[in-house]
A and B are shown apart, each in its own frame.
Chain A
Amino acid sequence: MSGDRVSGTGRIGAVLRFQAYRIANRPDMVIGVICLVALAFLVLGPLLEIIRDALSLQPYDLAYHPDGEVGSFSLFHLERVFVSPISKALFYRPLLNSLAIGVTVTAVAVSLGSLLAWLLVRTNVHFKGPLGTLIVVPYMMPSWVIALAWLALFKNDRIGGSEGLAAGLLGFQPPDWVSYGFFPIVVTLSLHYFAYAYLLMSGALATVDSELEEAGAISGMGRWQRLSRITLPLLLPALGSAVVLTFIRILGTFGVPALLGLPVRFFTFSTQIYNSINARNNGDAFVLALVLIVIAVSFIWINSRIIGVRKSFVTMTGKGFRRREINLGLWRVPLTILVWVFVLASVLLPLTILLWESLILLPGDYSLDNLTTYFWIGQGNTNLAYGEPGVLLNDGILNALGNSLKLGVSAALFNGFVGLLVGYAVVRGRGTRLSRWLESIAFAPYIFPSIALGAIYIGMFSTPLGPIPALYGTFAILVLITVVKNLPFTSRTGIAAMLQIDRSLEEAARVLGMGWFKRLVRIIMPLSASGLISGMLLTFITAMRELSLIVLLLSPSNMVVTGVIFYYQEQNMPQHSGAVALLLVLVIVLANVLVRLVAHLAGARSLASNAGA
Chain B
Amino acid sequence: MKEIRLSGIRKAYGRETVVHDMDLVVRPGEFLTILGPSGCGKTTTLRAIAGLEEPDDGEIRFDDQVVFSRQKGVIVPPEKRNLGLIFQSYALWPHMTVEKNILQPLQNKGLSRAEIDERTTRALDSVQMSAFRKRYPSELSGGQQQRVAVARMIASQPPILLMDEPLSNLDAKLRLEMRAELLRLHRELGSTTVYVTHDQAEALTLSDTVVVMDQGSIVQIGAPYDIYHHPTNLLVAEFIGEPRINLIEGELTEAGGTVVLQGKGIRIPADAAAGSASRRLVASVRPESILLSTEKRDGWQEVRLDNAQPTGSTTILQVAAGDSRLSLVQTGFVRLEPGIALWIDFDPASVNFFDPATGKNIRTSSKVAGADVG
A residues with CB within 8 A of B: 11, 13-18, 21-22, 24-25, 502, 504-505, 507-515, 518, 522-523, 526-527, 606, 609-613
Contacts and interface: CB of A to CB of B under 8 A. Distances in A.
Interface residues of B, number: 36
B54 A508 contact: no
Interface stretch (B83-91, B312-320, B340-348): B83-91
7 closest Cβ pairs, A-B complex:
A612-B138, A14-B73, A613-B94, A17-B73, A512-B105, A609-B136, A18-B73
Contacts of A15: 73
Interface stretch (B74-82, B236-244, B278-286, B297-305): B74-82
Given A504-B89, A505-B93, A508-B87, A609 B71 contact: no
Contact of A510 (B74, B78, B156): B78
Contact of A522 (B77, B104, B136, B137): B104
B73 A502 contact: no
A491 to B, nearest CB: 23
Contacts of B91: 502, 504-505, 507-508
B138 A514 contact: no
B139 A609 contact: yes
B296 interface: no
Contact of A18 (B70, B81, B87, B95): B70
B75 A22 contact: yes
A510 B77 CA distance: 9
A611 B51 CA distance: 30
Given A508-B91, A508-B92, 15 more contacts: A17-B74, A18-B70, A18-B74, A22-B75, A25-B51, A502-B89, A504-B87, A505-B94, A507-B85, A508-B93, A512-B104, A527-B93, A527-B95, A612-B94, A613-B136
Contacts of A523: 93
Nearest to A11: B71
Nearest to B153: A512
Given A16-B73, A21-B73, A513 B94 contact: no
B137 A511 contact: no
Interface of B: 50-52, 54, 70-75, 77-85, 87, 89, 91-95, 104-105, 108-109, 136-139, 152, 156
A507 B74 contact: no
Contacts of A18: 70, 73-75
Contacts of A514: 79, 104-105, 108
A252 B89 CA distance: 48
A511 B78 contact: yes
A523 B93 CA distance: 7
Contacts of A504: 87, 89, 91
B28 to A, nearest CB: 20
A466 B220 CA distance: 63
Nearest to A21: B75
A56 B75 CA distance: 51
A308 B139 CA distance: 43
Nearest to A506: B91
B105 A527 contact: no
Main secondary structure of the interface of B (DSSP, over half): loop
A510 B79 contact: yes
A24 B79 CA distance: 12
Contacts of A606: 95
Contact of B77 (A11, A24, A508, A613): A24
A523 B101 CA distance: 11
A292 to B, nearest CB: 42
A264 to B, nearest CB: 58
A14 B84 contact: no
Contacts of B92: 508, 613
Contacts of B78: 507, 510-511
A512 B95 contact: no
A507 B105 contact: no
Given A21-B75, A507-B78, A612-B139, A513 B109 contact: yes
A515 B79 contact: yes
Contacts of A512: 79, 84, 104-105, 108, 152, 156
B74 A21 contact: yes
A509 B95 contact: no
B105 A513 contact: yes
A528 B319 CA distance: 60
Contacts of B139: 609, 612
B62 to A, nearest CB: 14
Nearest to A514: B108
A14 B79 contact: no
B77 A509 contact: no
Given A512-B108, A609-B137, A507 B152 contact: no
12 contacts: A14-B71, A18-B74, A21-B75, A22-B54, A508-B91, A508-B93, A511-B81, A513-B79, A513-B80, A513-B105, A515-B79, A606-B95
B79 A609 contact: no
Contacts of B71: 11, 14
A510 B104 CA distance: 12
A527 B156 contact: no
Nearest to B105: A512
A610 B79 contact: no
A508 B74 contact: no
B231 to A, nearest CB: 34
A511 B108 contact: no
Nearest to B70: A18
Given A502-B89, A507-B78, A513 B52 contact: no
B138 A511 contact: no
Contacts of A509: 93, 104-105
Contacts of B95: 526-527, 606, 609-610
Contacts of B54: 22, 25
B50 A511 contact: yes
Contacts of A25: 51, 54, 75, 77
A51 B88 CA distance: 54
Contacts of A522: 104
A318 B82 CA distance: 41
Nearest to A613: B94
A462 B93 CA distance: 48
